[in-house]
Amino acid sequence: MAAVVAATRWWRLLLVLSAAGMGASGAPQPPNILLLLMDDMGWGDLGVYGEPSRETPNLDRMAAEGMLFPNFYSANPLCSPSRAALLTGRLPIRNGFYTTNAHARNAYTPQEIVGGIPDSEQLLPELLKKAGYVSKIVGKWHLGHRPQFHPLKHGFDEWFGSPNCHFGPYDNKARPNIPVYRDWEMVGRYYEEFPINLKTGEANLTQIYLQEALDFIKRQARHHPFFLYWAVDATHAPVYASKPFLGTSQRGRYGDAVREIDDSVGKMLELLHDLHVADNTFVFFTSDNGAALISAPEQAGSNGPFLCGKQTTFEGGMREPALAWWPGHIAAGQVSHQLGSIMDLFTTSLALAGLTPPRDRAIDGLNLLPALLQGRLMDRPVFYYRGDTLMATTLGQHKAHFWTWTNSWENFRQGIDFCPGQNVSGVTTHSLEDHTKLPLIFHLGRDPGERFPLSFASAEYQEALSRITSVVQQHQEALVPGQPQLNVCNWAVMVTGKAFAAPSDGTCAAFTPVSKNGPHTGLQCHSWVPRAHRAQWRWPNPASRPLSHHLPVHVG
């Protein structure tokens, strides 16, 4: 709380000192906020992070003009929980974006999921309204399909995008293609009105999302402070790019998608300068989780020196690229070694708006303004959750693993590999291994790849264990888990063909690994059907009541 109060004082001082902080009436106006959230982009995908092709000149320039965070983390190694954490400032275990169907299982929001973001959660755009902000989301929502989960029900004033990723194409019989919305109106579907050529990788979606962002900035920049949440998904398999970018990267199709995103970011920053609002606009670039190595190398990025990728709680699954840009306020060319989290964007955005976080609930996000504006480092832990289980914790340079797991032997033998070419004996395990009595501890400064656990007998191990154990005990004693939202699937939600239709009774969810070319790089939610009949099974018609069965869950 002291950091929030201090940050609010700095914000007021900046408004007094900066003419850019004056609205038309001469009254102080808080800065615009532009959050750029990528999908499955890895820590090693930008030139400034060491990607050897050096194909991200605009993002590299953004870093040179602002601040780079080498130690910035997602709140979960999967998309939906991570996005819920960003917009609530709370761990998924608190805001309900997890499953209890099995121990340490990942879960998300496919078309047939019943749950979504609870009404009890206060999202960032809702709170920013108190400071006069107008908010828009462009791209992927991923926090639920039913009417009560619509982004315009949770504080956003405008939306262009989809409740899900661009999975498909589907047959529109058992499973409809995923819809695209403008506000409340469905304006088409992926692979239909919004085509994606899986053979060539051509799609114009990033250009459409860019134009939506530019139009919104032009409309709002002179009138109200704005919050723009640009959540594009071109780097999520199946990756895509528009025709001018296809075949232009040294990295293949994934690199084409990254180059188009880089170009789009450059155009947005250029527009802010042209409108003379750059020095009154805070911009932050990051990703929802690590690169999905299950789709590598053709359809996935790079996690740099880090172990494994998406769906795991090793560094490659949760450490993200992160850049902050605010000309005239954040000094150029800075590198902050502050441990950061995607949840910090919630608290930091509120501080920029002169607001404090809700006091009636635990907020996990830290206000980063001391690091951004003064270069201060604040001691804080990073908790790595997989489903309902705290898998690991980092404090300072030390990371303790209480559980290790990549994915099951069954799925690994089928070619589903979350850590291709990165086997570390006793670490990248294919069974869920319990280390709670004697955690594996790594020094991430000396060993960022988590390959050399500290000796249990060493003084360094004992000292790190003592500090981390104390922090974890405090966390777990105070933790009040939210009602799990990702336990139940119901095909009636999906087969109506309407993303925001109300379902009938639900079924228990199963998130099972499928092939590496599957709809969600290894995850599928389905109702229980005997294995021999799954390929032929269809609902007789959309009005039919689904069968209900409790299911096992086997998630990598």
Maximum distance among all Cα pairs of the chain, rounded to whole angstroms: 71
The phi, psi pair for 475, rounded to 5°, reads -60, -50
Q: What residues form the annotated binding site for Ca(2+)?
A: 39-40, 79, 288-289
DSSP per-residue codes, 472-500: HHHHHHH--PPPPSSSEE-HHHHHTS-TT
State CA 33 to chain mean position distance. Answer: 17
Tokens 């109200």 sit at which residue? 224
Where are the chain's structural domains?
32-380, 398-478
CB 141 within 8 A of CB 172: no
Residue 495 is predicted with a pLDDT of 55
Residue 491 is predicted with a pLDDT of 79
Classified as helix, coil or strand, 128 is: helix
Alpha-carbon span 364 to 382, nearest angstrom: 10
Does the fold of domain 398-478 match that of domain 32-380?
no
Classified as helix, coil or strand, 112 is: coil
pTM value > 0.75:
yes
Q: What residues form the annotated binding site?
A: 39-40, 79, 288-289
Residue 517 is predicted with a pLDDT of 46
Phi-psi region of 197 (alpha: psi -120 to 50; beta: other; left: phi over 0): beta
- Encode the chain (556 residues) as per-residue pLDDT tens digits: 444 444 444 444 444 333 334 444 455 789 999 999 999 999 999 999 999 999 999 999 999 999 999 999 999 999 999 999 999 999 999 999 999 998 999 999 988 899 999 999 999 999 999 999 999 999 999 999 988 999 999 999 999 999 999 999 998 888 899 999 999 999 999 999 999 999 999 999 999 999 999 999 999 998 899 999 999 999 999 999 999 999 999 999 999 999 999 999 999 999 999 999 999 999 999 999 999 999 999 999 999 999 999 999 999 999 999 999 999 999 999 999 999 999 999 999 999 999 999 999 999 999 999 999 999 999 999 999 999 999 999 999 999 999 999 999 999 999 999 999 999 999 999 999 999 999 999 999 999 999 999 999 999 999 999 999 999 999 999 999 999 999 998 877 765 444 444 433 343 434 444 444 444 443 444 433 333 332 222 222 323 323 222 222 323 3
Domain at 398-478: CATH code = 3.30.1120.10
Which listed CATH number (3.40.720.10, 3.40.50.10320, 2.40.50.140, 3.90.226.10) goes with 32-380? 3.40.720.10
Residue 25 is predicted with a pLDDT of 44
> Pairing state of beta strands 226-231 and 185-189?
unpaired
Residue 139 is predicted with a pLDDT of 98
Residue 333 is predicted with a pLDDT of 97
Alpha-carbon span 119 to 140, nearest angstrom: 19
State CA 384 to chain mean position distance. Answer: 14
Residues recognised as catalytic: 79, 142
